[in-house]
Amino acid sequence: MWICVPIMQCFVSSQQSVEFIFYDSLSSYTIQLYLLKGRLRENKLRLNLD
């Protein structure tokens, strides 16, 4: 599943990816945004159940 979220809600955890915890009324999800050649890849994040 793919979702889009504002990049400003992310924090840089490494030079290769950006990740943060996304909370909703059901669960918390770990989302990783992969960087392509040092640039954001269309602000698209991969959603993984934590």
pLDDT confidence of residue 36: 38
Residue 25 confidence (pLDDT): 43
Q: How many CA atoms lie within 13 A of 8 on its CB side?
A: 0
Q: Hey, which bits of 1-50 come out as E strands? A: 2-4, 11-12, 17-23, 28-36, 39-40, 44-49
Residues 1-50 pLDDT 10s: 445 555 444 444 444 444 544 444 444 444 444 443 334 444 455 554 44
Whether the CB-CB separation of 37 and 26 falls below 8 Å is answered with no
pTM for the structure as a whole:
0.16
Instruction: Please report the pLDDT score of residue 5 as a whole number.
Output: 53
pLDDT of the residue at 27: 45
